[in-house]
Chain A
Amino acid sequence: MTVSTEVVGAARVGVGGPVGSGKTALVERLIPLLRGEGIDLAVITNDLVTKEDAERLRRSRLIDPERVLAVEAGACPHTVIREDPTLNIEAAERLDAQFPGLELILIESGGDNLASTFSLDLVDYWMFVIDVAGGDDIPRKRGPGIIQSDLLVINKVDLAPHVGVDLDRMVAEAREVRGGRPVVLTNCRTGDGVDGVVRAIRDAVPLGRQTGKSAGSGSR
Protein backbone atom coordinates (compact mmCIF):
# COMPACT_ATOMS: atom_id res chain seq x y z
CA MET A 1 0.00 0.00 0.00
CA THR A 2 1.29 3.40 -0.94
CA VAL A 3 0.28 6.38 1.13
CA SER A 4 1.17 9.82 -0.10
CA THR A 5 1.19 13.06 1.83
CA GLU A 6 2.20 15.18 -1.13
CA VAL A 7 0.41 18.47 -1.47
CA VAL A 8 -0.87 18.98 -4.98
CA GLY A 9 -1.58 22.71 -4.71
CA ALA A 10 -4.39 24.74 -6.18
CA ALA A 11 -5.74 24.30 -9.68
CA ARG A 12 -4.65 27.01 -12.11
CA VAL A 13 -6.86 28.46 -14.82
CA GLY A 14 -5.59 30.95 -17.39
CA VAL A 15 -7.58 33.83 -18.89
CA GLY A 16 -6.05 35.27 -22.07
CA GLY A 17 -7.14 37.39 -25.00
CA PRO A 18 -6.67 40.69 -26.82
CA VAL A 19 -6.47 44.11 -25.17
CA GLY A 20 -9.90 45.38 -24.18
CA SER A 21 -11.77 42.13 -24.79
CA GLY A 22 -12.99 41.99 -21.19
CA LYS A 23 -10.58 39.68 -19.37
CA THR A 24 -10.54 41.69 -16.15
CA ALA A 25 -14.30 42.23 -16.33
CA LEU A 26 -14.73 38.48 -16.68
CA VAL A 27 -12.49 37.82 -13.68
CA GLU A 28 -14.53 40.36 -11.70
CA ARG A 29 -17.68 38.43 -12.58
CA LEU A 30 -16.13 35.03 -11.93
CA ILE A 31 -14.89 35.86 -8.42
CA PRO A 32 -18.29 36.13 -6.70
CA LEU A 33 -19.71 33.14 -8.59
CA LEU A 34 -16.77 30.90 -7.73
CA ARG A 35 -16.66 32.08 -4.12
CA GLY A 36 -20.43 31.52 -3.96
CA GLU A 37 -19.76 27.87 -4.77
CA GLY A 38 -17.42 27.70 -1.78
CA ILE A 39 -14.22 27.71 -3.82
CA ASP A 40 -11.14 29.08 -2.05
CA LEU A 41 -9.79 31.47 -4.66
CA ALA A 42 -6.87 33.77 -5.56
CA VAL A 43 -5.94 35.77 -8.65
CA ILE A 44 -2.74 36.65 -10.48
CA THR A 45 -2.85 39.48 -12.99
CA ASN A 46 -0.31 40.22 -15.70
CA ASP A 47 0.31 43.68 -17.07
CA LEU A 48 3.02 45.03 -19.31
CA VAL A 49 4.67 47.60 -17.03
CA THR A 50 2.05 48.36 -14.37
CA LYS A 51 -0.05 46.64 -11.72
CA GLU A 52 -3.22 48.29 -13.02
CA ASP A 53 -5.41 45.19 -13.23
CA ALA A 54 -4.33 43.90 -9.81
CA GLU A 55 -5.06 47.28 -8.25
CA ARG A 56 -8.47 47.34 -9.92
CA LEU A 57 -9.32 43.92 -8.43
CA ARG A 58 -8.00 44.88 -4.99
CA ARG A 59 -10.10 48.03 -4.99
CA SER A 60 -13.17 46.08 -6.08
CA ARG A 61 -13.49 44.44 -2.63
CA LEU A 62 -14.59 41.28 -4.41
CA ILE A 63 -11.69 39.40 -2.87
CA ASP A 64 -9.18 39.85 -0.05
CA PRO A 65 -6.52 42.17 -1.58
CA GLU A 66 -3.79 39.85 -0.28
CA ARG A 67 -5.16 37.17 -2.59
CA VAL A 68 -4.35 39.25 -5.67
CA LEU A 69 -0.78 39.24 -6.97
CA ALA A 70 0.54 41.21 -9.91
CA VAL A 71 3.16 40.12 -12.41
CA GLU A 72 4.75 42.73 -14.65
CA ALA A 73 5.65 41.06 -17.91
CA GLY A 74 7.95 43.85 -19.03
CA ALA A 75 7.70 42.49 -22.57
CA CYS A 76 5.19 40.77 -24.81
CA PRO A 77 2.62 39.31 -22.37
CA HIS A 78 2.75 35.83 -23.92
CA THR A 79 6.39 35.44 -22.93
CA VAL A 80 5.46 35.08 -19.24
CA ILE A 81 2.55 32.70 -19.79
CA ARG A 82 4.15 30.51 -22.45
CA GLU A 83 7.87 30.77 -23.26
CA ASP A 84 9.08 31.35 -19.71
CA PRO A 85 6.23 31.32 -17.18
CA THR A 86 8.61 31.34 -14.21
CA LEU A 87 7.31 34.63 -12.80
CA ASN A 88 3.74 33.36 -12.82
CA ILE A 89 4.71 29.94 -11.44
CA GLU A 90 6.54 31.64 -8.58
CA ALA A 91 3.53 33.85 -7.89
CA ALA A 92 1.22 30.81 -7.83
CA GLU A 93 3.57 28.95 -5.49
CA ARG A 94 3.62 32.00 -3.21
CA LEU A 95 -0.17 31.96 -3.05
CA ASP A 96 -0.19 28.19 -2.45
CA ALA A 97 2.17 28.67 0.49
CA GLN A 98 0.36 31.68 1.91
CA PHE A 99 -3.15 30.23 1.72
CA PRO A 100 -3.05 26.52 2.62
CA GLY A 101 -6.70 25.90 1.70
CA LEU A 102 -6.43 27.52 -1.72
CA GLU A 103 -8.29 25.54 -4.41
CA LEU A 104 -8.16 27.69 -7.53
CA ILE A 105 -5.90 30.42 -8.91
CA LEU A 106 -7.11 32.49 -11.86
CA ILE A 107 -4.17 33.77 -13.94
CA GLU A 108 -5.12 36.69 -16.15
CA SER A 109 -2.71 37.39 -18.98
CA GLY A 110 -1.91 40.84 -20.25
CA GLY A 111 -3.71 41.78 -23.43
CA ASP A 112 -2.11 40.14 -26.44
CA ASN A 113 -2.72 39.06 -29.99
CA LEU A 114 -4.54 36.03 -31.44
CA ALA A 115 -1.38 33.92 -31.29
CA SER A 116 -1.23 34.05 -27.51
CA THR A 117 -1.42 30.70 -25.70
CA PHE A 118 -0.69 29.40 -22.20
CA SER A 119 1.93 26.81 -21.30
CA LEU A 120 0.49 23.72 -19.63
CA ASP A 121 3.47 23.95 -17.29
CA LEU A 122 1.70 26.99 -15.85
CA VAL A 123 -2.03 26.26 -16.08
CA ASP A 124 -4.31 23.26 -16.06
CA TYR A 125 -6.91 24.88 -18.29
CA TRP A 126 -7.14 28.15 -20.15
CA MET A 127 -9.69 30.29 -21.89
CA PHE A 128 -9.36 32.93 -24.58
CA VAL A 129 -11.62 35.99 -24.44
CA ILE A 130 -12.57 37.92 -27.56
CA ASP A 131 -15.34 40.43 -28.06
CA VAL A 132 -17.76 41.19 -30.84
CA ALA A 133 -16.56 44.77 -31.17
CA GLY A 134 -13.17 43.45 -32.25
CA GLY A 135 -14.82 42.21 -35.43
CA ASP A 136 -16.77 39.11 -36.40
CA ASP A 137 -13.91 37.90 -38.57
CA ILE A 138 -11.71 37.03 -35.57
CA PRO A 139 -12.73 33.34 -35.35
CA ARG A 140 -12.18 32.93 -39.10
CA LYS A 141 -8.60 34.11 -38.67
CA ARG A 142 -7.86 30.91 -36.72
CA GLY A 143 -5.22 32.24 -34.36
CA PRO A 144 -3.76 29.71 -31.93
CA GLY A 145 -5.61 31.41 -29.06
CA ILE A 146 -8.91 30.87 -30.86
CA ILE A 147 -8.22 27.30 -31.89
CA GLN A 148 -6.16 25.83 -29.05
CA SER A 149 -7.83 27.33 -25.97
CA ASP A 150 -9.88 24.96 -23.83
CA LEU A 151 -12.72 27.48 -23.83
CA LEU A 152 -13.45 30.40 -26.15
CA VAL A 153 -15.40 33.25 -24.56
CA ILE A 154 -17.11 35.70 -26.89
CA ASN A 155 -17.81 38.77 -24.78
CA LYS A 156 -19.82 41.98 -25.22
CA VAL A 157 -22.51 40.14 -27.17
CA ASP A 158 -24.90 43.01 -26.40
CA LEU A 159 -22.85 45.22 -28.73
CA ALA A 160 -23.33 43.03 -31.80
CA PRO A 161 -26.21 45.02 -33.37
CA HIS A 162 -24.39 48.30 -32.73
CA VAL A 163 -21.16 47.31 -34.46
CA GLY A 164 -22.68 45.50 -37.42
CA VAL A 165 -21.74 42.03 -36.28
CA ASP A 166 -23.70 38.94 -37.30
CA LEU A 167 -23.38 37.15 -33.97
CA ASP A 168 -24.92 33.88 -35.16
CA ARG A 169 -22.40 33.64 -37.98
CA MET A 170 -19.53 34.58 -35.68
CA VAL A 171 -20.49 31.83 -33.22
CA ALA A 172 -21.00 29.27 -35.98
CA GLU A 173 -17.57 30.03 -37.42
CA ALA A 174 -16.00 29.88 -33.96
CA ARG A 175 -17.49 26.44 -33.34
CA GLU A 176 -16.35 25.27 -36.77
CA VAL A 177 -12.70 26.31 -36.42
CA ARG A 178 -12.55 24.89 -32.87
CA GLY A 179 -13.67 21.45 -33.93
CA GLY A 180 -16.23 21.03 -31.19
CA ARG A 181 -14.35 22.63 -28.31
CA PRO A 182 -16.68 24.75 -26.19
CA VAL A 183 -17.67 28.35 -26.89
CA VAL A 184 -19.49 30.52 -24.35
CA LEU A 185 -21.18 33.87 -24.96
CA THR A 186 -21.03 36.52 -22.26
CA ASN A 187 -21.89 40.08 -21.43
CA CYS A 188 -19.56 40.82 -18.55
CA ARG A 189 -21.17 44.22 -17.97
CA THR A 190 -24.33 42.47 -16.79
CA GLY A 191 -22.92 39.05 -15.96
CA ASP A 192 -24.99 37.25 -18.57
CA GLY A 193 -23.45 33.95 -19.57
CA VAL A 194 -20.66 33.99 -16.97
CA ASP A 195 -22.25 31.03 -15.18
CA GLY A 196 -21.44 29.08 -18.36
CA VAL A 197 -17.76 29.86 -17.84
CA VAL A 198 -17.97 28.59 -14.25
CA ARG A 199 -19.63 25.38 -15.44
CA ALA A 200 -16.98 24.87 -18.11
CA ILE A 201 -14.19 25.24 -15.56
CA ARG A 202 -15.83 22.89 -13.08
CA ASP A 203 -16.63 20.30 -15.75
CA ALA A 204 -13.03 20.20 -16.95
CA VAL A 205 -10.88 20.84 -13.89
CA PRO A 206 -11.04 18.86 -10.65
CA LEU A 207 -10.72 21.38 -7.85
CA GLY A 208 -9.77 20.77 -4.26
CA ARG A 209 -6.39 20.71 -2.63
CA GLN A 210 -5.91 16.99 -2.76
CA THR A 211 -3.18 15.42 -0.65
CA GLY A 212 -2.93 11.98 -2.20
CA LYS A 213 -3.93 10.36 1.04
CA SER A 214 -5.42 7.12 -0.16
CA ALA A 215 -4.01 3.72 -0.92
CA GLY A 216 -2.17 3.21 -4.18
CA SER A 217 -2.35 6.80 -5.32
CA GLY A 218 -5.97 6.96 -6.34
CA SER A 219 -9.11 6.95 -4.26
CA ARG A 220 -12.72 6.21 -4.86
Chain B
Amino acid sequence: MIEITRILGHCDDPDLSARIHHAGHHGGIEYLHIPPAEAARRRFRAVTDMGSECAVMLPRDQGIFDGAVLLLEHDRAVVARLTEQHWLRLRPSDVEGAALELGYHAGNLHWRVRFDHGDLLVALDGPRETYVARLADLMDEGKVEVVGE
Protein backbone atom coordinates (compact mmCIF):
# COMPACT_ATOMS: atom_id res chain seq x y z
CA MET B 1 0.00 0.00 0.00
CA ILE B 2 1.34 3.39 -0.98
CA GLU B 3 0.32 6.21 1.34
CA ILE B 4 0.19 9.54 -0.46
CA THR B 5 0.13 12.51 1.86
CA ARG B 6 1.17 15.44 -0.27
CA ILE B 7 1.64 16.59 -3.85
CA LEU B 8 5.27 17.13 -4.78
CA GLY B 9 4.60 19.29 -7.83
CA HIS B 10 3.88 18.93 -11.53
CA CYS B 11 5.58 16.21 -13.53
CA ASP B 12 6.90 18.86 -15.93
CA ASP B 13 8.58 20.88 -13.17
CA PRO B 14 12.27 20.99 -14.10
CA ASP B 15 13.49 19.61 -10.79
CA LEU B 16 11.01 16.74 -10.87
CA SER B 17 10.90 15.72 -14.54
CA ALA B 18 14.51 14.50 -14.63
CA ARG B 19 14.01 12.41 -11.51
CA ILE B 20 10.77 10.95 -12.89
CA HIS B 21 12.58 10.11 -16.12
CA HIS B 22 15.30 8.42 -14.08
CA ALA B 23 12.75 6.46 -12.06
CA GLY B 24 11.21 5.32 -15.33
CA HIS B 25 14.49 3.66 -16.29
CA HIS B 26 14.52 1.60 -13.11
CA GLY B 27 11.09 0.39 -12.21
CA GLY B 28 8.58 2.46 -14.01
CA ILE B 29 6.24 5.34 -13.80
CA GLU B 30 2.81 4.45 -12.52
CA TYR B 31 -0.27 6.48 -13.35
CA LEU B 32 -3.29 7.02 -11.15
CA HIS B 33 -6.26 7.73 -13.40
CA ILE B 34 -8.90 9.92 -11.76
CA PRO B 35 -12.21 11.21 -13.20
CA PRO B 36 -12.28 15.04 -13.21
CA ALA B 37 -15.35 15.13 -10.96
CA GLU B 38 -13.39 13.20 -8.32
CA ALA B 39 -10.32 15.41 -8.38
CA ALA B 40 -11.53 17.56 -5.49
CA ARG B 41 -11.54 14.56 -3.16
CA ARG B 42 -8.74 14.68 -0.56
CA ARG B 43 -8.98 11.16 0.81
CA PHE B 44 -9.66 8.06 -1.22
CA ARG B 45 -8.33 4.68 -2.18
CA ALA B 46 -7.32 3.94 -5.74
CA VAL B 47 -5.22 1.55 -7.81
CA THR B 48 -2.55 2.62 -10.30
CA ASP B 49 -2.38 1.35 -13.85
CA MET B 50 0.28 -1.11 -12.65
CA GLY B 51 -1.93 -2.46 -9.88
CA SER B 52 -0.42 -0.69 -6.87
CA GLU B 53 -2.96 0.17 -4.20
CA CYS B 54 -2.84 3.76 -3.00
CA ALA B 55 -4.31 5.44 0.07
CA VAL B 56 -4.50 9.14 -0.75
CA MET B 57 -4.64 11.47 2.27
CA LEU B 58 -3.94 15.02 1.15
CA PRO B 59 -3.93 18.19 3.22
CA ARG B 60 -7.07 20.29 2.78
CA ASP B 61 -5.19 22.98 0.86
CA GLN B 62 -3.99 20.55 -1.79
CA GLY B 63 -5.99 18.99 -4.61
CA ILE B 64 -5.25 16.50 -7.35
CA PHE B 65 -4.53 17.92 -10.81
CA ASP B 66 -3.44 16.39 -14.09
CA GLY B 67 0.28 15.67 -13.86
CA ALA B 68 0.47 15.89 -10.07
CA VAL B 69 3.46 13.93 -8.76
CA LEU B 70 2.22 11.84 -5.85
CA LEU B 71 5.26 9.65 -5.18
CA LEU B 72 8.85 9.97 -6.24
CA GLU B 73 11.52 7.50 -5.22
CA HIS B 74 14.76 6.38 -6.82
CA ASP B 75 13.11 3.64 -8.84
CA ARG B 76 9.45 4.56 -8.83
CA ALA B 77 7.09 7.44 -9.44
CA VAL B 78 3.33 7.79 -9.23
CA VAL B 79 1.72 10.54 -11.32
CA ALA B 80 -1.97 11.55 -11.38
CA ARG B 81 -3.76 11.64 -14.69
CA LEU B 82 -7.25 13.09 -14.93
CA THR B 83 -9.40 11.12 -17.32
CA GLU B 84 -10.94 12.95 -20.25
CA GLN B 85 -13.85 15.24 -19.43
CA HIS B 86 -16.76 14.90 -21.83
CA TRP B 87 -18.93 17.96 -22.44
CA LEU B 88 -22.43 18.31 -23.81
CA ARG B 89 -22.60 21.30 -26.13
CA LEU B 90 -25.93 23.16 -25.97
CA ARG B 91 -26.99 26.00 -28.21
CA PRO B 92 -29.85 28.32 -27.22
CA SER B 93 -32.10 29.55 -30.03
CA ASP B 94 -31.47 33.18 -29.07
CA VAL B 95 -29.16 35.10 -26.80
CA GLU B 96 -31.96 36.66 -24.78
CA GLY B 97 -34.84 34.56 -23.44
CA ALA B 98 -33.65 31.07 -24.39
CA ALA B 99 -30.07 31.66 -23.27
CA LEU B 100 -31.22 33.10 -19.96
CA GLU B 101 -33.61 30.23 -19.43
CA LEU B 102 -30.95 27.64 -20.23
CA GLY B 103 -28.46 29.32 -17.91
CA TYR B 104 -30.99 29.43 -15.09
CA HIS B 105 -31.92 25.79 -15.69
CA ALA B 106 -28.28 24.60 -15.67
CA GLY B 107 -27.59 26.54 -12.49
CA ASN B 108 -30.68 25.16 -10.82
CA LEU B 109 -29.44 21.65 -11.60
CA HIS B 110 -25.95 22.48 -10.28
CA TRP B 111 -24.34 21.44 -13.52
CA ARG B 112 -20.70 22.31 -14.08
CA VAL B 113 -20.56 24.49 -17.19
CA ARG B 114 -18.33 26.44 -19.50
CA PHE B 115 -19.19 29.03 -22.15
CA ASP B 116 -17.91 28.91 -25.69
CA HIS B 117 -18.96 31.25 -28.52
CA GLY B 118 -22.60 31.42 -27.48
CA ASP B 119 -22.82 27.73 -26.57
CA LEU B 120 -23.15 26.32 -23.09
CA LEU B 121 -20.92 23.33 -22.37
CA VAL B 122 -22.11 21.01 -19.61
CA ALA B 123 -19.64 18.65 -17.96
CA LEU B 124 -20.93 15.08 -18.20
CA ASP B 125 -20.34 13.49 -14.82
CA GLY B 126 -22.86 10.74 -15.55
CA PRO B 127 -24.76 9.19 -18.45
CA ARG B 128 -25.50 11.61 -21.30
CA GLU B 129 -29.16 10.53 -21.38
CA THR B 130 -29.62 11.75 -17.81
CA TYR B 131 -28.63 15.26 -18.83
CA VAL B 132 -30.60 15.29 -22.08
CA ALA B 133 -33.71 14.11 -20.22
CA ARG B 134 -33.57 17.21 -18.03
CA LEU B 135 -33.59 19.38 -21.17
CA ALA B 136 -36.63 17.77 -22.78
CA ASP B 137 -39.00 20.70 -22.23
CA LEU B 138 -36.55 23.31 -23.49
CA MET B 139 -35.76 21.19 -26.54
CA ASP B 140 -39.43 20.49 -27.28
CA GLU B 141 -40.09 24.23 -27.22
CA GLY B 142 -37.25 24.78 -29.66
CA LYS B 143 -35.29 26.89 -27.20
CA VAL B 144 -32.26 24.63 -26.97
CA GLU B 145 -30.58 22.06 -29.16
CA VAL B 146 -27.77 19.66 -28.53
CA VAL B 147 -25.11 20.46 -31.10
CA GLY B 148 -22.29 18.19 -30.09
CA GLU B 149 -20.32 16.47 -27.42
Contacts and interface: CB of A to CB of B under 8 A. Distances in A.
B42 A218 contact: no
Interface string A1-28: 0101011110100000000000000000
Interface residues of B, number: 33
A30 to B, nearest CB: 17
Contacts of B59: 6-9, 212
Given A7-B59, A206-B57, A219-B2, A117 B110 contact: yes
Interface stretch (A57-65, A120-128, A187-195): A120-128
A11 B43 CA distance: 7
Contacts of A115: 110
A4 B71 CA distance: 12
B25 interface: no
B43 A205 contact: yes
A211 B3 CA distance: 10
Contacts of A148: 125-126
Interface residues of A, number: 37
A2 B72 contact: yes
Interface string A67-105: 000000000000000100000010000000000000000
Interface string B1-30: 111111110000000000000000000000
B117 interface: no
A31 to B, nearest CB: 20
A206 B42 CA distance: 10
B126 A147 contact: yes
A204 to B, nearest CB: 6
A125 B43 contact: yes
Q: DSSP majority for the A interface?
A: loop
Contact of A4 (B6, B69, B126): B6
A203 B46 CA distance: 11
Contact of B44 (A117, A124, A142, A215): A124
Contacts of A9: 59-60
Which of A6, A206, A215, A217 is most buried by chain B, counting CB atoms within 10 A of its CB? A217
A50 interface: no
B144 interface: no
A8 B5 contact: yes
B126 A204 contact: no
B71 A206 contact: no
11 contacts: A8-B5, A8-B60, A206-B57, A210-B3, A211-B5, A212-B6, A215-B73, A218-B5, A218-B73, A219-B2, A219-B3
Interface of B: 1-8, 38, 40-45, 54-60, 69-73, 78, 110, 125-127, 130
Closest 6 CB pairs of A and B: A212-B5, A218-B71, A206-B55, A120-B40, A124-B43, A216-B72
Given A204-B44, A206-B55, 16 more contacts: A9-B59, A82-B110, A117-B110, A120-B38, A120-B41, A120-B42, A125-B43, A142-B130, A203-B45, A205-B45, A212-B59, A213-B5, A217-B5, A217-B71, A218-B4, A219-B2
